Amino acid sequence: MALASALLAACTSEEPAPVRGDALHGGLQSQGVVGSDQAKVGQDWWFALPVPVNKSSKEIEITEVSLVDIPRGIKVVEYGAFSRDDTEGLALLVLEGEPHMPDLDRLENHIREPVVVPARQESDIYYLAHLKITAPPDQSVRYCKFQYVQGGEKYTQTLDCEVDLRTKKKA
């Protein structure tokens, strides 16, 4: 009986799941689709998640981001967090190796530290997902999840975002 009580206590003392948040606004990036119909298997693309806009009255600390619906044929290699100043603007969707692609290896990557977004402000830091096309994708990548802390509470919020990378079909 003591063992059962100890096990029950261990199971119920887990950290609670993050609460569903509403502090973020996705801006224009949450209202459209970016993509290419010229993608090829084997290519690497970098897709910008919506720039975090904190619409609340308290600062937030973003601790993690991820894409939610990832179709067969696309693999997420890694995520990065970069300053728009360093990348000379927002790298919305870029093919790795192209001349207009920022040299992300030389820039400071903030992905391993919380990104603070002050109340009612837009973040200078934005997130990129490094995507590899492993097979012709059967649908687009959809939804971006942000995990953040506000006032000591953990929250999770999913924003709409979509990238459609299509390969040419053989005739």
pLDDT of 33-85, one tens digit each?
999 999 999 999 999 999 999 999 999 999 999 999 999 999 999 999 999 99
The pLDDT assigned to 28 comes to: 78
Residues 6+ apart with CB under 8 A from 91: 46, 48, 82, 101, 102, 128
- Percentage, residues of the chain above pLDDT 90: 76
**Residue 47: other Cβ atoms inside 10 A:** 24
Residues 6+ apart with CB under 8 A from 22: 56, 157
pTM for this model (two decimals): 0.87
The pLDDT of residue 5 is above 60: no
> pLDDT class for 13, splitting at 50, 70, 90?
low
Least trusted range by pLDDT, from 97-101, 122-126, 147-151: 97-101
Tell me the C-alpha distance between 32 and 26, whole Å: 11
The pLDDT of residue 124 is above 50: yes
Instruction: Report the residue count for the chain.
Output: 171
Q: What is the DSSP letter of 91?
A: -
Q: Which listed CATH number (3.40.50, 1.10.3470, 2.40.50, 2.60.40) goes with 18-165?
A: 2.60.40
Across all residues in the chain, what is the average pLDDT? 90
Q: What is the DSSP letter of 92?
A: -
> pLDDT class for 12, splitting at 50, 70, 90?
low
